[in-house]
Amino acid sequence: MSALTGTTLLARLVLRRDRIRLAIWVLGTPLLGYALAGSVAGIYPDQETRQGYATTSASSLVARAFNGPIHGTDLGAVVVAETYVTLALIVALLSTFAVTRHTRQNEETGRAELLGANVVGRYAPLTAALLVIVGANTVAAVLLTVALAGAGLPLAGSVAAAAAIGGVGVAFTAIAAVTAQLSVTARGANALAAATVGLSFVLRAAGDVLGEQSADGTRVRSAWPSWISPLGWGNQVRAFDGERWWVLALPVALLLAGVALAYALAERRDQGAGLIAPRRGPATAAPRLLSPTGLAWRMQRGTLLGWAVGVAVLGLSMGVAADEFDDMIDANPAAAEAINAMGGGADLINAYLAAMLGLFALTIGAYVVQALLRVRGDEADGVLEAALATAVSRTRWLGTQVLAATLGAIALLLLAGVTTGLGYGIVTGDPLGQAVELGGAALLRLPALLVIAGVVTAIFGLLPRWSVALSWTALLVFLLLGQLGAVLELPQAALNVSPYTHVPAVPAVDPAALPLVVLAAVAAALLAVGVAAFRHRDVPS
Amino acid sequence: MPVISIGNLVKTFGAIRALDGLDLHVEQGEVHGFLGPNGSGKSTTIRILLGLLRRDSGDAQVLGADPWRDAVRLHRRLAYVPGDVSLWPNLTGGEAIDLLGQLRGGLDRRRRDELLHRFDLDPTRRCRTYSKGNRQKVAIVAAFSSPVELYVLDEPTSGLDPLMEAVFQDEVRRVKQAGATVLLSSHVLAEVEALCDRVSIIREGRTVESGTLTELRHLTRTAVTVETARPVTGLDALPGVHDVHEVDGRTHLEVEPAHLDELLGQLIRFGVRALTSTPPTLEQLFLRHYGDDPAATATGAAAVPASPGPATVGASDVDAQADAPRGGAR
Ligand SMILES: Nc1ncnc2c1ncn2[C@@H]1O[C@H](COP(=O)(O)OP(=O)(O)O)[C@@H](O)[C@H]1O
Ligand SMILES: [Mg+2]
């Protein structure tokens, strides 16, 4: 088949380019699964604690929304409830970005044209990318099976759970293959696919919330929206609870359909073109664009708007769910303990709210990293060179980017606190008071985000070529320390590495000025290092 | 006072020695061609002149200031067209031009609109949809819309069609007329010949020639074909004469311009019937300097090449075209 000529060669190229990423993915997910399974086994060692966990999880709408439906009291079922959503989201996003990277991004940069002029069939690049990425998902699933079974879980359930997660990866591989045909830019393709991930999460959450609790109280039968979400399918396999193997056919079917659609679309369009036509725009610039600040706002506003919508929806739903939290805690001392560990303090509602605000601060950290890494993207593209050849100093340019990211972070934090407060206040009858209080509490997380901004800036100044990898790694380390550090019983010294460790968990505890001042000082030092290093280095480098 | 003055400039990237003692002098008001094979260090030099890269050692002055320390102040007085233009993908071409112009300190709106028209550029399209040539036009329009003292152009026309090339040349002449100085890195020899008052040729990070085109021509041998009544003898013994051979009763040879006089004195004795003398084409000049044998080319102004360089291939003009080993340089 001439349309596939060169596929093997291109697949080897994909493997070569991504050998490190793929290794981290394929080895990292099983390792994470193994560690999580072990720690869950420690927290819920016997039938009695697991019975309690399952009953609470099945009756709590919050648990259903964020952990998915629980399926019985097997240790494996608890492990799945605690880990599935996180692992599935990671795998979904990794698959999505990998597909775009090896298809649309190549077209956007012109690399595909270079390859296409050689003996390479029309479908070869897409096929090569899909082969490698589906392969990576498969290998990761096999290793995850080994990891789960190795952690002492039943084999059949381990296979089902790992296949469920691999299936999510495969499903989003198919979706990304289609979005890569639609959008002209890699950014656009990723945004479309990531939006599909978000939509899948919401559909699954809705389906699980609307589902029914089984008669024995330890199971949830999801409603139909979960069935139209690729993220939901993995739960419907019911690993460790009478596995329904046939559900695994759904991601495979989606893969076949997605690939067929992607090929059909690829057939219909030119190299480099998309199906969503780019719009035209103004012939002259509005005066407000004509400064580094104006440009930074223009570059950020789309991203910021997307984040704002996501944060607001999540904030409202978490706020509304807070009230229900009391009931859940009463029924589950183990969960109470976990929440206490996350937020500390006596009042459990406040501990919950503090934990949610902490989660928002972590998530918004990703916005800060994303926003600041634009400078590096501009440098790699060559746009930075053109900009710095004008009468704008490096300090002003970088300072503007940091300022823009900081203002964005403030806006998102405030929005997170206010919407959570509104949601909680609507249920308890004091929307305005709660909005103000939680809005303020959320803003106290800003110093941690400033430290993130400082870390990215310092990396950009000192090790520009490593900016992207190191910045995301730093955030991931902070995330893992914050979310899993307590569960994994890491020493305090390790936890202290993360700026989030030092933010007072308001409203669960009283605000304290000292840690915030210290964080702000650390941030200022990191920013100063970053700017100074940037002023003294080559551009581009 | 020279507008650009570089002496013994060195820049390394790890183990790569991109600039190895480069010299470059550009006088006020001239269009200076900056030539050299790919990877010889042109873009690196230009980036140092813009304060984007930091030099390892050597002197560099632009408009009387240090390009690294006074970058911002200098940038108000110059405009730059990068070799590989990339733009903000989600801005329109018009927005990008206005932005670059404003960041530089302001642009002439009338000129901007006129240039858009002359370069036939649609300013409402997003930069991500532009071809390479159109991105280059955006950078060129943004640069020439700014009335500055110095234009630094790094292979600005490599993606333009011949029509646009002509518009570009008009613009360079216009800013020169207005008193500006232009540093033009280029591979388009016709463009260099049409525009440049002086050129500098670099190779592997060093300047190998610098001067007006006429001066440079003097450094390269002239091809002479002569038909005489009697067979010519004794030419090999003359200084500065090379590569003598006979084809169909005609003698082909090459001579260094300084020794032309002696050659003619000798030829006259054999009854000259026809004589053609072909000065080196620009292409031959460059091929000689771009060629693989640095010993033959790096010897500097007064030196006589020890062995025939690539430019001396072929005895007549016609042959030279056919035999030139790298005829594709144009
Ligand atoms: N950032 C860099 N890192 C490493 N090597 C570089 C870098 N920039 C340029 N070089 C090297 O320096 C040399 C000169 O490059 P350049 O100035 O771009 O040449 P030109 O513009 O004349 O084609 C080349 O060998 C190139 O590979
Ligand atoms: Mg160059």
Domain ranges of chain A: 1-271, 290-541
- CA distance to partner chain A, nearest, from residue B150 (Å): 13
pLDDT tens by residue, A169-228: 999 999 999 989 888 788 778 888 888 898 898 889 888 988 888 988 899 999 888 999
Contacts of A185 in chain B (CB under 8 A): 89, 128
**pLDDT value of position A365:** 94
Task: Judge: B94–A391 Cβ closer than 8 Å, yes or no.
Answer: no
Q: Whose CA is nearest to atom 6 of ligand 1?
A: B13
Which residue type does A214 have? Answer: S
Decide the pairing of beta strands B31-35 and B16-27.
Answer: unpaired
d(CA A350, CA A319): 11
Task: Judge: A280–B54 Cβ closer than 8 Å, yes or no.
Answer: no
Band of pLDDT at residue A40, cut at 50, 70 and 90: confident
For chain B, give the number of residues. Answer: 330
pLDDT tens by residue, A112-167: 777 766 767 888 889 999 999 999 999 999 999 999 999 999 999 999 999 999 99
pLDDT tens by residue, B132-170: 899 999 999 999 999 999 999 999 998 899 999 999 999
DSSP assignment of A176-244: HHHHHHH-SSHHHHHHHHHHHHHHHHHHHHHHHHHSEE-TTSSBEE--GGGGG-HHHHHHHT-TTSS--
For residue B234, the SS3 value is coil
d(CA B308, CA A95): 60
Selecting from B54, B73, B82 the residue whose C-beta is nearest the C-beta of A538 gives: B54
Per-residue CA distances from A94 to A79, A111, A145 (Å): 22, 22, 19
How much of chain A is in helix, strand and coil states, percent to nearest 5? 80, 0, 20
CA angle centred on B50, ends B48 and B56, rounded to 5°: 20
**pLDDT value of position A41:** 87
**What mean pLDDT do residues A509-526 have?**
94
DSSP assignment of A463-502: -GGGHHHHHHHHHHHHHHHHHHTTTTT--HHHHTTSGGGG
CA angle centred on B11, ends B9 and B13, rounded to 5°: 170
- CA distance to partner chain A, nearest, from residue B196 (Å): 24
Band of pLDDT at residue B312, cut at 50, 70 and 90: very low
Contacts of A104 in chain B (CB under 8 A): none
Residue B327 has pLDDT above 70, yes or no: no
Residue B300 has pLDDT above 90, yes or no: no
pLDDT tens by residue, B230-261: 888 888 888 888 888 888 888 999 888 888 88
Structure tokens at A388: 């710095």
What's the first-to-final CA gap in chain A, in angstroms? 43
* Tally of CB atoms within 10 A around A202: 17
d(CA A406, CA A360): 15
Structure tokens at A68: 């998915």
In SS3 terms, A221-239 reads as: ECCHHHHHCHHHHHHHCCC
Distance from the alpha carbon of residue B34 to the mean position of ligand 1, in angstroms: 15
**What mean pLDDT do residues A250-270 have?**
91
pTM assigned to the model: 0.78
DSSP assignment of B100-142: HHHHHT---HHHHHHHHHHTT--TTSBGGG--HHHHHHHHHHH
Q: Which residues have CB under 8 Å from A463's CB, separation 6+?
A: A470
- CA distance to partner chain A, nearest, from residue B210 (Å): 27
Selecting from B53, B99, B123 the residue whose C-beta is nearest the C-beta of A283 gives: B123
**pLDDT value of position A335:** 62
Residue of B75, B76, B95, B108 to mutate, interface with A, max A Cβ within 10 Å: B95
Per-residue CA distances from B53 to A396, A537, B12, B119, B148 (Å): 18, 7, 10, 31, 22
d(CA A148, CA B58): 63
Residue A487 has pLDDT above 70, yes or no: no
Q: Which domains does chain B have, with CATH numbers?
A: 2-214 (3.40.50.300), 221-322 (3.30.70)
Q: Whose CA is nearest to atom 18 of ligand 1?
A: B43
Could you tell me which of A517, A392, A347, A541 has the C-alpha nearest to residue A462? A541
Selecting from B52, B75, B89 the residue whose C-beta is nearest the C-beta of A539 gives: B52
Average predicted confidence (pLDDT) for chain A: 89
Could you tell me which of A341, A369, A364 has the C-alpha nearest to residue A505? A341
* Tally of CB atoms within 10 A around A12: 12
Q: To the nearest whole percent, how much of chain A has pLDDT over 90?
A: 55
Residue B120 has pLDDT above 90, yes or no: yes
Which residue type does B233 have? Answer: T
Task: Judge: A280–B71 Cβ closer than 8 Å, yes or no.
Answer: no
d(CA B252, CA B272): 13
CA angle centred on A505, ends A499 and A511, rounded to 5°: 100
Decide the pairing of beta strands A212-213 and B198-203.
Answer: unpaired
Q: Do residues A192 and A100 make contact, with C-beta atoms less than 8 angstroms apart?
A: no
Find the DSSP H helices in A60-154. 61-67, 75-102, 104-109, 111-116, 124-150
Could you tell me which of B45, B85, B38, B89 has the C-alpha nearest to residue B67? B45
